[in-house]
């Protein structure tokens, strides 16, 4: 099949531990057959570590920093501060686990989805050295939970998951005809409509278009799922999703559950490569040599 290959990674806050496991499984065997990647919220953050080829970085950020009171703090939120301090997490991540930016920006290009607060629609930015901090802050800036509104390049933004949680259609629009999607919900999940939609008008009265986008989020999310299940005839969509027993929620802080979710991601990534790409991996072993782990995986 002609066309590009894209990797799409959903967000989901702490549920992103699953994608971190999948991507670490990919890194374990230097698996990257993609032409470009698109990340949303935590998915974009996970992709930084993957494209920088820094195995375990995302796991360390999630389990070691995202569980810290400096990041997630309900008491601070009650007092008028952030429930989640996205800027702190990003800055502390770069301080504690510096990115190999040379590898990152010489890898496949990374696109991040953000939600424009003036339109309620998704905008997409290629992540580059001069905009990385602002783009990653914006794509992870959970509305209401993170009070600042990141602004750059002439616009102001909030979490990309509001307008486009799973940007498979955008990947297709940009020429991808084989799309691999890493979800943060089980494969049979469908988002339910918001129970109190009018509440958004009060909580987001400064940004009415974001409030409207929040009310439409389930509809947009389920439309992306419909595309995944029934893609155009010239496109193949491969899905990696957590099992129904995945124990991690958006704000799960218990490390044992996060470790369990990470392990599920590792196994799902290995199974994906075995089932869909074992011939490619076998060819890698023949042409380049590899570790015993790779040989065992594809034998």
Residues listed for the chain: 299
pLDDT of residue 287: 64
pLDDT of residue 275: 87
Question: Which of 20, 41, 45, 165 is labelled catalytic?
Answer: 41
pLDDT of residue 294: 46
| pLDDT tens digit sequence for 170-212 | 999 999 999 999 999 998 999 998 888 888 888 888 999 999 9
Q: Is 45 a catalytic residue?
A: no
**Ranges of each domain in the chain:** 4-297
Question: Which of 24, 85, 159, 164 is labelled catalytic?
Answer: 159
pLDDT of residue 219: 95
pLDDT of residue 299: 42
Q: In angstroms, how far is CA 162 from the centroid of its own chain?
A: 13
Alpha-carbon distance values, 129 to 48, 95, 100, 200, 236 (Å): 12, 16, 12, 35, 32
- Which residues, listed in sequence order, are joined to residue 178 by a DSSP beta bridge? 5, 236
The closest of 170, 154, 178 to 40, measured between CA atoms, is 170
Regions in the chain scoring below 50 on pLDDT: 1, 291-292, 294-295, 297-299
pLDDT of residue 284: 63
What is the residue-averaged pLDDT of the chain? 92
Q: Which residues of 192-225 are buried (b: 16+ CB within 10 A; e: fewer)?
A: eeeeeeeebeeebeebebbbbbbbbbbebbbebb
Q: Is 212 a catalytic residue?
A: no
**Rg (Cα) of the chain, in Å, rounded?**
19
Alpha-carbon distance values, 177 to 113, 131, 168, 174 (Å): 19, 28, 10, 9
Q: Does domain 4-297 have CATH number 3.40.50?
A: no
């Amino acid at each position: 099949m002609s066309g590009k290959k894209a990797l799409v990674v959903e967000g989901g806050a702490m549920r992103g531990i699953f994608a971190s496991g999948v991507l670490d499984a990919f890194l374990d065997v230097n698996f990257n057959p993609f032409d470009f990647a698109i990340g949303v919220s935590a998915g974009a953050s996970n992709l930084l570590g993957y494209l920088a080829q820094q195995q375990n970085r995302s796991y360390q950020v999630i389990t070691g920093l995202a569980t810290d009171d400096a990041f997630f703090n309900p008491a601070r939120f009650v007092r008028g501060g952030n429930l989640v301090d996205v800027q702190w997490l990003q800055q502390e991540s770069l301080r504690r686990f510096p990115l190999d930016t040379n590898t990152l920006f010489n890898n496949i290009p990374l696109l991040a989805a953000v939600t424009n607060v003036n339109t309620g629609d998704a905008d997409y930015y290629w992540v580059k050295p001069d905009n990385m901090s602002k783009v990653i802050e914006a794509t992870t800036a959970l509305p209401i939970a993170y009070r600042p509104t990141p602004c750059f390049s002439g616009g102001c933004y909030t979490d990309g998951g509001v307008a486009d949680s799973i940007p498979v259609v955008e990947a297709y629009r940009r020429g991808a005809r084989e799309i691999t999607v890493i979800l943060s919900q089980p494969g049979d999940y469908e988002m339910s409509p918001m129970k109190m939609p009018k509440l958004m008008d009060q909580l987001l009265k400064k940004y009415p278009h974001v409030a409207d986008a929040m009310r439409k989020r389930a509809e947009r999310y389920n439309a992306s799922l419909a595309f995944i299940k029934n893609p155009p005839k010239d496109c193949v969509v491969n899905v990696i999703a957590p099992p129904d027993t995945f124990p991690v929620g958006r704000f799960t802080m218990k490390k044992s559950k996060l470790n369990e979710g990470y392990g599920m991601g590792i196994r799902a990534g290995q199974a994906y490569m075995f089932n869909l790409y074992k011939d490619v991996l076998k060819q890698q072993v023949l042409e380049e040599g590899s570790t015993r782990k790779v040989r065992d995986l594809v034998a």
